[in-house]
Structure 1
Amino acid sequence: MSESSINSLLENLKNPDENVRKQATEELWRIWFYQKGISGMERLGRTQMLLERGETAQAEALLTQIIREQPDFAEAWNRRAVLYYILKQYQKSRDDCQQVIRLNPIHFGALHGLGLCYMALGDYQAAITAFRKALDIQPYSLINQKFILECTARLS
């Protein structure tokens, strides 16, 4: 997908029309999941099936293998960050979120996840920063607005 198409989707995330924002969000997620084509998407799908069956060690092993083979596959890093977060391994999750953002600075999901990790680790100022960066991309995200308020209250 061209840079102008991505920029158009990013602008649509700021559109007052909820349907326009929803379509843009779905399209960006589709692009990210299919970064490595159908085979990459299928491998991520296998990790999700493992997670759903509670086979977290196998899911982690497969995600780590994908990352080792394709270190620029941002969504593989993001999926592993989600896994680590679920396992309450917040520092590992934070580190993977940071890698996603290095590879894909507009990845609002990883920015949100980074904020969640910082919240879980008790670093509310860093969480606010991450949620604000996510809001720069998705200004209508109520969950990020809510978490900014929660973190601000905890700092008071």
Structure 2
Amino acid sequence: MRIFVTLILASSALVASAAAEEPLLPAQPQTEAASPATPQQRLNALFTDLKRERDEEKARELANRIRLEWQDSGSATVNLLMQWAEKAIAGEKKTMALDMLDQVIVLAPNYVEGWNRRATLHYQMGNFRKSMSDINRVLALEPRHFGAIAGMATMLEAAGKNELALRAWQQFLDIYPSDRKAQEQLGELSEKLAGSRT
């Protein structure tokens, strides 16, 4: 990731120096194709594209770009804590990871991925109620967070709340319609519910 960022910065510097050597041209009007300026504008554009995209592979690429947007907290300290938490989780030091994620949430209470990562960790530790509470916070901050919605649907189904799980998968597919696994989950739950009604 650092190499990728370094390459981007290096290429930006090259473009800037090349532009400085060229004679000034009249300013061109902004077009709609220009890259959105703020993270929220970029997210909105990506979600619009994700909803329209029917090709599974292209949709997956868009979903990954959305995840990358979510990962950057805008704070070097918070980003570092998130990296340390991931290393702790990978090293099976879940309690330590939980402490770090708690700190992330204290430092950046509106950072969606802090809540989402802690929800996932609570789930892995068997703290389903706490996981669902964190998922609710994620969705209050970002109602389109398809990862959190998938987690919620999985927990609802495990708890035998199939109708609520079905609604969650429908919500997921409204945001990310070409996700094959979600389509399969929705189909299986629909069949299960139809069978229980007959």
Same fold (TM over 0.5): yes
The offset of 1:2, in angstroms, is 5.1
Say which of 1, 4, 8 aligns to 2:45.
8
Partner of 1:57: 95
Is residue 35–residue 73 contact of structure 1 (8 Å, CA) maintained in 2?
yes
1:132 pairs with 2:170: yes
Deviations 1:67-96 (CA, angstroms, capped at 9, x unpaired):
122211110000011111112222211111
AA matched with 1:43: L
Aligned residue pairs: how many?
Answer: 156
Alignment of 1:136-151 (within 5 A): 136-151=174-189
AA matched with 1:30: L
Say which of 24, 28, 43 aligns to 2:66.
28
TM-score, normalised relative to structure 1:
0.89
Q: CA RMSD in A?
A: 1.7
Partner of 1:112: 150
1:97 pairs with 2:140: no
- Larger deviation, residues 120-129 vs 71-80: 120-129
The offset of 1:103, in angstroms, is 0.4
The offset of 1:4, in angstroms, is 4.1
The offset of 1:111, in angstroms, is 0.8
TM-score, normalised relative to structure 2:
0.72
The offset of 1:26, in angstroms, is 1.5
- Larger deviation, residues 11-20 vs 75-84: 11-20
Is residue 115–residue 127 contact of structure 1 (8 Å, CA) maintained in 2?
yes
Flag structure 1 segments of 5+ consecutive residues without an equivalent.
Answer: none
Flag structure 2 segments of 5+ consecutive residues without an equivalent.
Answer: 1-37
The offset of 1:55, in angstroms, is 0.5
Partner of 1:75: 113
The whole-number CA distance in structure 1 between the counterparts of 2:74 and 2:161 is 34
The whole-number CA distance in structure 1 between the counterparts of 2:125 and 2:188 is 23
Query: What percentage of residue pairs aligned between the two structures are identical?
Result: 27
Runs ≥4 in structure 1, deviation > 6 angstroms?
none
Distance change (3 Å), C-alpha of 1:4 and 1:102:
same
Is residue 156–residue 164 contact of structure 2 (8 Å, CA) maintained in 1?
yes
The offset of 1:98, in angstroms, is 1.0
Say which of 143, 158, 161 aligns to 1:123.
161
Deviations 1:119-145 (CA, angstroms, capped at 9, x unpaired):
122211111111111111100111212
